[in-house]
Structure 1
Amino acid sequence: MTGFLYSAAQENHIVELRSKEALESCDVSNPIRMYTDGIDNVMLDGEGPRYFASSTVDGCKSGLKLHVDVLPQIPKPIKAQSTADMVAAAPLPSGSARAVEATLLLWSCVVVAMVGYLVI
């Protein structure tokens, strides 16, 4: 899931377009979907290209557009654990848990920054 944050009060919205050609030419006249709340979460389900842009031609032509390639999810292999492995597994020290939380926070900021240029 990804998100868009923009000013809905200014009548600027985000549209999802049907094709790369529509995105490149900023043809926002026939979108698949329009996001109008100002804070929208977009499910990136399925795989393949997705095209998002400002709902205004001027905004789109100014670069407020995004092409996203949704890749297939790779299933994680299921590893059988023996009872001995489960008993031997120790919890992470609090410093390691904090490092994991900090890494997740950093990646969240990177995703927001990548999507942030669509802020209108």
Structure 2
Amino acid sequence: MERMGRRMGHLLVLIIVVVSVSLGGGRGVSAGEATQVHHVVGGDRGWDIASDIAAWAADRLFRVGDKIWFAYSAAGESIVELGSREEMEACDVTNPIRMYTDGLDSITLDGVGTRFFASGRPESCKKGLKLNVDVLPQQQTQMDLINPLTTIPFHEVVAAGPTTPSAAVPLPAAPPLSLLVSGLFFFSWFFLPFF
């Protein structure tokens, strides 16, 4: 009987671990991960002269932690990151900070400030293939603003409006595979003797 009680205690711990892993990988999900937005530059057409990159970017908000994706034909195009607005506006691509040539490039916006991107081909840049990205701080959620040691009267709590800055879809953070495998191992170790 004592052995059965110990197994039930272990089972309870296992259930707590599995639920924790499935809700955030046991490592905590930061507000930045929970609200990360993936932006495909140019929308459905991607990085293309016909996309009107300036119009696409006009109604987007970019925040720290978001990712921008450049999709283009690697055979005829490349992306450069430039150091200044002047270089971008003049399509001076002779001194890039970084160069992207894979055809599908993901860039994490890891700090507040402005970043400048342009086509690696000056003629394409002059036709509009350039983008400046003003990166804003991460947006605080209502929970970030609430001190857990204070109580707020129910009538003072206000629901936040929509927070997605574009048609892009926020992706939830995935739990690490190692934690999922560990949970399955312990699950089978505890349950197999009962069958």
TM range (shorter): 0.5 to 0.7
Structure 2 equivalent of residue 67 of structure 1: 132
Structure 2 equivalent of residue 107 of structure 1: 167
TM-score (norm 2): 0.41
Q: Deviations over 1:36-63 (max 9, x none)?
A: 1100001111010100010010010011
Q: If you compute each CA radius of gyration, which structure gives the higher value, 1 or 2?
A: 2
**Matches of 2:114 and 2:135 in 1, distance apart?**
6
Identical counterparts, % of pairs: 55
Structure 1 equivalent of residue 74 of structure 2: 8
Root-mean-square deviation (CA, aligned residues, Å) is 2.5
**Matches of 1:62 and 1:79 in 2, distance apart?**
51
Q: Report the secondary structure of 1:58's partner residue.
A: helix
1:53 aligns with 2:109: no
| Structure 2 unmatched runs, 5+ | 1-66, 149-163, 170-195
Query: Which structure: greater strand fraction?
Result: 1
Structure 2 equivalent of residue 35 of structure 1: 100
More relative contact order, 1 or 2 (CA 8 Å, 6+ apart): 1
**Matches of 2:118 and 2:109 in 1, distance apart?**
15
Count of aligned residue pairs for this structure pair: 88
Amino acid at match of 1:13: S
C-alpha displacement of 1:108: 1.6
Extract structure 1 runs of 4+ deviating beyond 4 A: none
**Matches of 1:45 and 1:51 in 2, distance apart?**
14
